[in-house]
Amino acid sequence: MNFDFSDDIKAMTAEVRRALERSCNMAEVRRCLEDGMFHPGGLISKPAWGVLAEMGVTGARIPEQWGGSGLGMLELAACAEEIGRVCAPVPSLPSVYLATEALLHSGTDSQRERWLPQLARGEAVGSMCFAPIDADGERLTARYAAVPAGAVADFLVVMSADDCAVLIDLHQDGVSRHPLRVLDPGSPMAELALNAVRSEPMNCPAGSYQGIRNRAAVLLAFEQLGGASRALDIARDYTLQRKTFGRTVASYQAVKHLMADVWVKNEIARGHAYHGAWASQTNDPALPLAAACARVSASEAFEFAAREALQLHGGIGFTWEADIHPFYKRSRSTALSLGSSREWKRRIAQLLHRQHMTIAHEL
Amino acid sequence: MNFDFSDDIKAMTAEVRRALERSCNMAEVRRCLEDGMFHPGGLISKPAWGVLAEMGVTGARIPEQWGGSGLGMLELAACAEEIGRVCAPVPSLPSVYLATEALLHSGTDSQRERWLPQLARGEAVGSMCFAPIDADGERLTARYAAVPAGAVADFLVVMSADDCAVLIDLHQDGVSRHPLRVLDPGSPMAELALNAVRSEPMNCPAGSYQGIRNRAAVLLAFEQLGGASRALDIARDYTLQRKTFGRTVASYQAVKHLMADVWVKNEIARGHAYHGAWASQTNDPALPLAAACARVSASEAFEFAAREALQLHGGIGFTWEADIHPFYKRSRSTALSLGSSREWKRRIAQLLHRQHMTIAHEL
Amino acid sequence: MNFEDSPQEAQFRATVREWLAANAEPKRHPRDFVGDGLPADQRLAAARVWQAKKAAAGYAAVTWPREFGGLGGTPIQHLIYLQEESKWRSTFGYFEIGIGMCLPTLMAYGNQHHKDRYVRTALYGEEIWCQLFSEPAAGSDLAGIRMRARREREQEGSDWMVDGQKVWTTGAQFSDFGLLLTRTDPTVPKHAGLTMFFVDMKSAGIEVRPIRQMAGESEFNEVFFTGVRIPDEQRLGPVGGGWKVALTTLMFERLTVGTELGLLTAQSMLSLLADRGDLSDPAVAESMADAWIVDEGLRLHQCRTLTALSKGSTPGPEQSIGKLLKARQAQRMSTFLMDLAGQGSLVVDEETDSLWSSVQRTWNWSAALRIAGGTDQILRNIIAERVLGLPEEIRVDKGIPFNQVTK
Amino acid sequence: MNFEDSPQEAQFRATVREWLAANAEPKRHPRDFVGDGLPADQRLAAARVWQAKKAAAGYAAVTWPREFGGLGGTPIQHLIYLQEESKWRSTFGYFEIGIGMCLPTLMAYGNQHHKDRYVRTALYGEEIWCQLFSEPAAGSDLAGIRMRARREREQEGSDWMVDGQKVWTTGAQFSDFGLLLTRTDPTVPKHAGLTMFFVDMKSAGIEVRPIRQMAGESEFNEVFFTGVRIPDEQRLGPVGGGWKVALTTLMFERLTVGTELGLLTAQSMLSLLADRGDLSDPAVAESMADAWIVDEGLRLHQCRTLTALSKGSTPGPEQSIGKLLKARQAQRMSTFLMDLAGQGSLVVDEETDSLWSSVQRTWNWSAALRIAGGTDQILRNIIAERVLGLPEEIRVDKGIPFNQVTK
């Protein structure tokens, strides 16, 4: 039994944490959110993204031949937690966990050659949509209502549930982008209208659609977990220094028990996230169920932690100057990426039912 | 706006409460539960049932010509709350709220003549099943798995969803009763096997099935509300006298907030119960929705109140000598009578949807 | 048991309806107020016109005695007026605090001159009042305020010099006067060292700064006091007696029943779900039922409260139930609906009157509403202590001079 | 990251498996224990035989030093033994408390004679021990016990006379000895006046009475002491030093990881729902997922704990999470399944090994389990204070002589 990250991974993530804390403190996060509120779509925290590129996180999974660090899922997962901890306004989900993974698993040689080195250096940003593909030869006309990082992405992967995928270079005629105002300006989206643009087919093995969603769900779960632990830390620190009626707020039992409940949910989510990382890394048959459990428990833990951490701040909690509201917003936007908890819960029930029937059948 | 019981009703229920508290204290309730555990089926608290007959509660809705008190739904509802408060082990639901109401609304003259005077005096006990009726002429062969008060009932009304009903005298050949061990011995049930027994058709107007269920749901909601308030009272009294770490248990914030939450749920349930009583009394078109809301909110309030009141007792709470476990059991058995909250919630959604469509159509 | 007006209530309602039909403009949509669409200053001017009209007819303060320009009416009559008014274009956010809380306090503790000078102008909307109580370090623990008022000279009747900061002040930016709670003696236990004043908001040394909320908008202010001079004549109640005056104000706050919180209702949720065709999903149906039970349950609870009111009782702590449930329910409902609709529901709906924009506003605002006007935790304390009679929280600062309580 | 045994663990597991295959009987159903179906006394006798076999092989106390009959093993090895043993007929409810908690305390605080006399007989199941700590007025607040021990004569070494009542004593009815926490000095603050003894359960003046639980069964006892004489030789630790000894015992309690609570699992829930064909209902599906996430989440949390253990850390308060979640989850699941099945699920399923009887047992037992071994509230306090480092509850009895604390 060795159900923990290795000391090497821990050392690596400790460095990522230090670098992110330096480059992306809450003032930087608020600055990005403010910017995103008034100039929707364009946002990216350059210092944070720079650190991630420099430390090999954007290219974590990219083999060294294309300039990446050639690391495993465990390493990337551990880094994702750090991204979530600082609530970094960076396109990690669309670009690193989705588009890059799609290229790695389903890209043609020339597609990889073209994009992976830039992705590794953090110079290119990718995005991804899960949608049916209705291409006319190599020309695609389509409208995607809310594409993550859609205003800044350099290319887009579109993948359909029947495991077809195309790649679209977004720097071409026929692409028009409409940045959107969103509830979490730290996770910007844009509407993309594609008018007879050139789309390049990808090599998509069977199971790609669900496989990439499962792995991205696990990585996003680590971001959420990072956000959830940080929200708890912020609430703990605040209530320990804030006084009311002559006592620290943290000394009230209702406050203590609320934080205990947050901690419990976070612990449960952590177990599932680790399990998901292990299953992704080893490509274990447990992956679909593990990923779904990781996704649901992390979404719920993050939303609970952020919501109640905000509550524990009292009035200051809903002001712009507080450090907690970016987490409240991020908890909502991450919960709705890749499909909501409801959908993943139903998937869990289906997978369990199938598992049960298989076992019952074997008996 | 006069959304409260009248002073007359309040005075009447105060008397019923005093009489029930005298005749049916928790020692009597525990005695009945113990008896019911070892001699399943036969239980009834004679003193409590006697008081209810004497004070006109068993015959509340029966017109004076048949020896009843000819009161309205509001009066009976208010008394039901008192029955719930003392957790009385009496067949109020099957006999008073169901069988008696069925006779009043759908009985033939001779059926009424025969049973209503005995019901008013508390000398007869009725029960009721909601099931399809598959009678061969006047002869019925059927098996009912879990009939409330089935071991002591004198007659049974069976009503089907398409508004057919028959009455069966249970003192005849072909009736066999198998008393059941149940989780709440205060609400005993029996399996009834009927072998070609004589069944008398009733005069069932359209809408009877849902109408009688709605009214019974409201009355049962009042019982549940009584149980919920009493459970809170018991928890409050206990935690106010019990000390731990040198302080009364009730002074801990977690304990206070839990009781506040119980109170809030009880208040919400009370509003719905009153609404249901008003709609039953006035036969208002709001009845179906009001009854469903009363049923669901009262079931949830009672289960929450009983469960957490038990919890607030600490170790003593799960001993036989504590006053709280009969409420925990009753909260479960009442929640499962007349269909569970799940079913009623779906009904609420259906009714709301219909209402919405009607309004949308009218606009 | 019934939901109808009593004969007297029905008569009052008829009179109100008649007056509104003759004087008010029809509402074009649920959030349509007087001056809708105009710039802020013109909107305020239009609001003052409507307020003056109401005042002339006695409806600006139904429950006030006639001598102060009210109707000497009951809380129920006040509510009937509000119910009827809500069907017409009216105003929101300018006069409630002054007329609901500040002026009643002035009437209770002010002298004849105060009453003559300030009541009528406020009633007619000519002057607006705000309430300056909360401070950064004193939210739930209001008696912990620090804003310092010192006599300019050590003698009776001397002016006071005030320094410090207030926060969460609604309407400070357009208010003429403010009801101000200060600390005049930090050497006695916290409740004993407070004194109440009212202050001219245009006094030198007062600076109003909007507070930016998490969704970017500003509905509240911080108000900074630097050497603000207040004549002793503007003191309400005795020196050191400010807590009792504040309690009066807060008691009047409780009387402002039926305030609309502007959140998503179960009825709107029903519209959205029905339009989406989602109610056939049992999980959605159950959530819909849960939401309905809370909303409708609060309405019925309100009916019980009104019944008690009309029988002469005063609103008690039982009212805490409303905000406690409503705010959490709003947070749950808005989250649920966004879950159903998926990622697209993160895109801000620019149409401010749509159901979806109300979902989004509710998601942001419910987080604040669980705090503003008493946190969930404080409300549970109130219910536990004042309704259920459970012991108060242990107060470690009890009886200790304010300046000696551990900071 | 992996879930496999380390090479050393794998080797130990193989040895254990071999021994069990040679010595144990196969299990016929999940709740099949040694002596199943026999009368209580024969069942106990059979349990003693199995215990002696285990003891002879060193498996009765894997973590004990070899000199005391253990294997000098690690907590992980102990757990591996338990995992493997659970696949065979074994015993439950007789020896855990003695070997897990009482004897380790005796080894820590007893003298050489004690160790020689009591350890081996307990290990081999010849003598059974129980723990006499809780009292009616001292549950969560264990240091508030009142059982009074007085020296018979005012001199060193004199016998002690003990009067009072203990409660929740598992196994008292068949125990030979009990570890007994008493109050020897009520004039000092509560933690300072306690002294630990062990007592012969057959002493004159001890009466064991079963406690009837709410579902009618009796799994615990009250134990009454009336003038029970205990030789000073049976004192463990100094007079007035009982709290420290008790903390040692409780620390060992925490080491008894992985105890099976016998409640409904999410796996059983899945079987029931699949059999009923209910999983196509989305509301049911979501509840199934919720239950699975908690159960599986606890298993994974346990895996993280074991990882930490195998790296040499000691089990901390983080373990509180298990019972806190499990008990509430059990209450929710059993209620949910009964709701689904309807009124018929109230009829007691007489087949004690069926899934439905486990639902019903769980519904009753979960209410107790949210209390026994630390209430939900105490566990949250522990997490808040010892894991998150939040302030302790205000202790109004701190430093006050026990007999002066407000009763």
Of A201, A218, A239, the position where a domain reaches its end is: A201
The per-residue pLDDT for B223 is 98
Of B153, B181, B201, the position where a domain reaches its end is: B201
- Structure-token match 């006319």, residue found: A136
Q: Which two tokens stand for residue A50?
A: 């720079």
Read off the pLDDT band of D395 (50, 70, 90). Answer: confident
Q: How many residues does chain C have?
A: 407
CATH 2.40.110.10 segments of chain C: 129-241
Are residues A177 and A151 in contact, defined by beta-carbon separation less than 8 angstroms?
yes
Closest to C405 (Cα-Cα) out of A239, A245, D391: A245
Are residues B85 and B230 in contact, defined by beta-carbon separation less than 8 angstroms?
yes
| Same domain for A187 and A227 | no
> For residue A1, is it within any domain?
no
| Same domain for B130 and B113 | yes
HEC string of chain A?
A: CECCCCHHHHHHHHHHHHHHHHHCCHHHHHHHHHHHHHCCCCCCCHHHHHHHHHCCCCCCCCCHHHCCCCCCHHHHHHHHHHHHHCCCCCCHHHHHHHHHHHHHHHCCHHHHHHHHHHHHCCCCCEEEEECCCCCECCEEEEEEEEEECCCCCCEEEEECCCCCEEEEECCCCCEEEEECCECCCCCCEEEEEEEEEEEEECCCCCCHHHHHHHHHHHHHHHHHHHHHHHHHHHHHHHHHHCEECCEEHHHCHHHHHHHHHHHHHHHHHHHHHHHHHHHHHHCCCCHHHHHHHHHHHHHHHHHHHHHHHHHHCHHHHHECCCCCHHHHHHHHHHHHCCCCHHHHHHHHHHHHHHHHHHHHHHC
Of D344, D371, D393, the CB nearest to B315: D371
Give the range of the structural domain holding residue A179, as residue numbers without chain letter: 7-201
pLDDT digits (tens, 9 = 90+) for A249-305: 999 999 999 999 999 999 999 999 999 999 999 999 999 999 999 999 999 999 999
| Average pLDDT score over residue span D238-242 | 97
CATH 1.10.540 segments of chain D: 7-92
Are residues B94 and B149 in contact, defined by beta-carbon separation less than 8 angstroms?
yes
Whether residues C282 and D286 touch (CB distance < 8 A) is answered with: no
Whether residues A268 and D289 touch (CB distance < 8 A) is answered with: no
Kindly state whether B253 is in contact with chain A, defined as any CB-CB distance less than 8 angstroms: yes
| CATH number (domain holding residue A29) | 1.10.540.10
Question: Which CA distances in Å does A269 have to A332, C13, D294?
Answer: 16, 57, 9
The per-residue pLDDT for A90 is 96
pLDDT of D319 > 90? The answer is no
| Average pLDDT score over residue span D359-369 | 94
Contact list in A for residue C396 (CB cut-off 8 A) is 245-247
Please indicate whether residue B182 or residue A40 has the higher confidence score (pLDDT).
Answer: B182
The per-residue pLDDT for C258 is 45
> For residue B234, is it within any domain?
yes
> For residue A230, is it within any domain?
yes
Are residues A293 and D299 in contact, defined by beta-carbon separation less than 8 angstroms?
no
What percent of chain B stands above pLDDT 70? Answer: 99
CA–CA min distance A62, chain B (Å): 50
What does pLDDT average to over chain B? 95
Closest to A115 (Cα-Cα) out of A156, A172, A73, A56: A156
What does pLDDT average to over chain D? 93
| Same domain for A64 and A12 | yes
Kindly state whether B250 is in contact with chain C, defined as any CB-CB distance less than 8 angstroms: yes
Q: Which two tokens stand for residue A230?
A: 């940080």
Which residues sit opposite C2 in a β-bridge?
Answer: B2
| Same domain for B168 and B90 | yes
pLDDT digits (tens, 9 = 90+) for B191-206: 999 999 999 999 999 9
- Structure-token match 């802020």, residue found: C40
| Average pLDDT score over residue span B181-199 | 95
pLDDT of D199 > 60? The answer is yes
What does pLDDT average to over chain A? 95
Whether residues B332 and D335 touch (CB distance < 8 A) is answered with: yes
CATH 3.40.50 describes domain C7-92 = no
Of D283, D394, D396, the CB nearest to C286: D283
The per-residue pLDDT for D257 is 46
| Same domain for A316 and A194 | no
pLDDT digits (tens, 9 = 90+) for D160-184: 999 999 999 999 999 999 999 999 9
Contact list in A for residue C137 (CB cut-off 8 A) is 243
Number of domains in chain A: 2
Integer Cα distance of C394 and C392 in angstroms? 6
| Average pLDDT score over residue span A145-173 | 96
The per-residue pLDDT for D259 is 52
| Same domain for B175 and B32 | yes
Residues 275 to 294 of A: which have CB under 8 A from any D CB? 275, 277-278, 281, 292-293
CATH number of D129-241: 2.40.110.10
Whether residues C339 and A311 touch (CB distance < 8 A) is answered with: no
| Same domain for B354 and B233 | yes
| Same domain for B293 and B161 | no
**Complex-level ipTM beyond the 0.90 threshold:** yes
Q: Which two tokens stand for residue B138?
A: 């006047």
Kindly state whether D253 is in contact with chain B, defined as any CB-CB distance less than 8 angstroms: no
Ranges of beta strands (E only) in D73-128 are: none
Lowest mean pLDDT among B35-39, B177-181, D292-296: B35-39
pLDDT of D363 > 60? The answer is yes
Residues 305 to 344 of C: which have CB under 8 A from any B CB? 306-308, 310, 318, 321, 324-325
Q: How many residue contacts between A and C have a Cβ separation below 8 Å?
A: 118
Question: Which CA distances in Å does B29 have to A79, C124, D216?
Answer: 61, 64, 14
Of B1, B239, B253, the CB nearest to C307: B1
C-alpha of A60 from chain center: 15
The per-residue pLDDT for A278 is 98
pLDDT digits (tens, 9 = 90+) for A252-261: 999 999 999 9
Of A184, A201, A218, the position where a domain reaches its end is: A201
Closest to C264 (Cα-Cα) out of C338, C329, C325: C329
HEC string of chain B?
A: CECCCCHHHHHHHHHHHHHHHHHCCHHHHHHHHHHHHHCCCCCCCHHHHHHHHHCCCCCCCCCHHHCCCCCCHHHHHHHHHHHHHCCCCCCHHHHHHHHHHHHHHHCCHHHHHHHHHHHHCCCCCEEEEECCCCCECCEEEEEEEEEECCCCCCEEEEECCCCCEEEEECCCCCEEEEECCECCCCCCEEEEEEEEEECEECCCCCCHHHHHHHHHHHHHHHHHHHHHHHHHHHHHHHHHHCEECCEEHHHCHHHHHHHHHHHHHHHHHHHHHHHHHHHHHHCCCCHHHHHHHHHHHHHHHHHHHHHHHHHHCHHHHHECCCCCHHHHHHHHHHHHCCCCHHHHHHHHHHHHHHHHHHHHHHC
Read off the pLDDT band of A363 (50, 70, 90). Answer: low
pLDDT digits (tens, 9 = 90+) for B25-63: 999 999 999 998 888 766 689 999 999 999 999 999 999
| Same domain for B163 and B78 | yes
C-alpha of B213 from chain center: 11
Are residues C135 and C148 in contact, defined by beta-carbon separation less than 8 angstroms?
no
| Average pLDDT score over residue span D297-313 | 89
Please indicate whether residue D312 or residue C381 has the higher confidence score (pLDDT).
Answer: C381
| Same domain for A79 and A173 | yes
In DSSP notation, D6-61 reads: PHHHHHHHHHHHHHHHHHPPBPSSTT-BTTTTS-HHHHHHHHHHHHHHHHHHTGGG
Integer Cα distance of A91 and A84 in angstroms? 12
pLDDT digits (tens, 9 = 90+) for D88-128: 999 988 999 999 999 999 999 999 999 999 999 999 999 99
pTM score: 0.96
The per-residue pLDDT for C257 is 46
- Chains in contact with C, where contact means 3 or more Cβ–Cβ distances below 8 Å, are A, B, D
> For residue B2, is it within any domain?
no
The per-residue pLDDT for B38 is 81
Residues of chain C with pLDDT under 50: 257-258
Are residues A327 and A33 in contact, defined by beta-carbon separation less than 8 angstroms?
no
Nearest CA in chain D to C284: D283
Nearest CA in chain B to D348: B182
The per-residue pLDDT for C28 is 86
Mutate which: A239, A244, A253, vs B, most B CBs within 10 A:
A253
| CATH number (domain holding residue B269) | 1.20.140.10
Class of domain D263-387: mainly alpha
What residue type is A40 in one-letter code?
A: P
Contact list in D for residue C396 (CB cut-off 8 A) is 394
| Same domain for B113 and B256 | no
Of D289, D383, D389, the CB nearest to A296: D289
CA–CA min distance D290, chain C (Å): 13
Closest to D49 (Cα-Cα) out of D22, D23, D17: D23
| Same domain for A269 and A333 | yes
